[in-house]
Structure 1
Amino acid sequence: MPSPARRAATAVLVPASLASSLTLAPIALAATPAPVSATQQPGGDQMTQMARQYTAALQKLHGAAFEQAFMAGMIPHHEMAVSMARMELAHGTRPELRAMAQRLITAQSQEISDMTSWLNSWYGLTPAQATARMTADIGQMMRSMQADMGSMSSDMATMRAGTSVDQAFVEAMIAHHKAAVLAADTAPGHATHSRLITLAHSIATAQNAEITQLRTWLRDWYGKSTTS
């Protein structure tokens, strides 16, 4: 059970686009059974388990409903990655990780801008408004994943500069990227705008490559491995 201080830190780190959407139109969850939180999974890759539940729900949508939910979920997911990358730049020491963090900030900031623009031009929506339109189950799962990523961010924020931050960044980004790839892989056959399908393919390709590199560093630098 997270301490009150950790819960507070996590709440602060939830991206503004997500927080504002909850203020505009809270999603009614009382009648929806709560999915198993990633932090409650009995072992295994917890974030991936949560992401699989989320993407299974996304796959029930098509066309406009899918695109709005996909972008409303991917925007804050990218924002959390950018936040953690900035922590790595501020407190990490490995030049390889710092270079990856800078590339991530550049790429994902542009993707956030693209998706925000598309939501507006295609549907007349802000990210917050698109989030408010989500079905209850998708909205709840998205918030659960964001809370777990917020916990990772808050852990990094309490670490001293150096090796601990570097290792935490590697492990967090492997989990984060796997969740993004699972979501991106749902776009073909569900999205209708070719630009969004192309972006989803780019996300999956780039982040799969980074997962491979991050796993190599995790093994070589810290003697740990993950294959799930």
Structure 2
Amino acid sequence: MNKPVAILLVIIVVLVVSLTSIFAYFWIWSSTVGEEGYGGHGMMDMNREFIENMIPHHQDAVDMSNVALTRAKHPQIKQLAKNISISQSREIVEMRQWYKEWYGTDVPGDSHMMNVTDINRLKNAKDFDKEFIEQMVPHHQMAIIMAQMVLYHSNRPEIRGIAESIIKSQSKEIDEMRTWYKEWYGTDVPTYNS
């Protein structure tokens, strides 16, 4: 097995484990809400979990985008990276403020989800723009899944608002990246779920 295939398999495993954990959490939550309804303890935990997971997810996108600002060849990628960095940095600040206000403490844990290998592969890619799109499209898809799950269950207008914003903006960015990839590389962005 060659190195790129091995790296892809590691990424797939990490994504599958992450998705499985998130789906399991929401499945358990939805089956235990019971009479508490949307205002109960389970809902507070869902909002908390969303923030605790979305902040490191956003931070990874900001880190990837900051690399793109210096490495990207196409001006479209540089502009996209700038937009991602600005919007997701702002959302991180908002989510940290909500968390502190709602839970009386700072957001715990590591501020990153990506492993060092992924970011190093991006930094050292021969065709940076191609690698950036191949990593950012599934990264955005994961954020959309997380946002869709919380959108339909959160009772907090702030969480619902940020979830709607994530779905709208990142769906648009995925479409743009897919269009550029097809134009620049003559094929669709690879999918790694088969």
TM-score range, shorter chain: 0.7 to 0.9
Match of 1:203 in 2: 166
Residues 207 and 113 from structure 1, CA distance in 2 versus in 1: closer, same or farther, beyond 3 angstroms? same
Does the Cα contact within 8 Å between 2:134 and 2:189 map onto a contact in 1? no
Does the Cα contact within 8 Å between 1:188 and 1:197 map onto a contact in 2? yes
Q: What is the total number of aligned residue pairs between the two structures?
A: 173
Match of 1:52 in 2: 19
Match of 2:122 in 1: 156
Partners of 2:59 and 2:137 lie apart in 1 by 16
Identity %: 26
Does the Cα contact within 8 Å between 2:60 and 2:114 map onto a contact in 1? no
Match of 1:78 in 2: 58
State TM-score, norm by structure 1.
Answer: 0.68
Does the Cα contact within 8 Å between 1:51 and 1:182 map onto a contact in 2? no
Runs (5+) with no aligned partner, structure 1 = 4-36, 133-142
* Greater share of residues in helix: 2
Match of 1:113 in 2: 93
Give 1:152 shift.
2.3
Letter in 2 for 1:65: D
Match of 1:15 in 2: none
* 1:210 alignment partner, SS class: helix
Structure 2 residue corresponding to 1:179, chosen from 133, 142, 158: 142
Letter in 2 for 1:193: R
Give 1:222 shift.
1.2
Give 1:48 shift.
5.5
Matched, 1:169 2:140: no
Match of 1:125 in 2: 105
Letter in 1 for 2:171: N
Matched, 1:39 2:10: yes
State TM-score, norm by structure 2.
Answer: 0.79
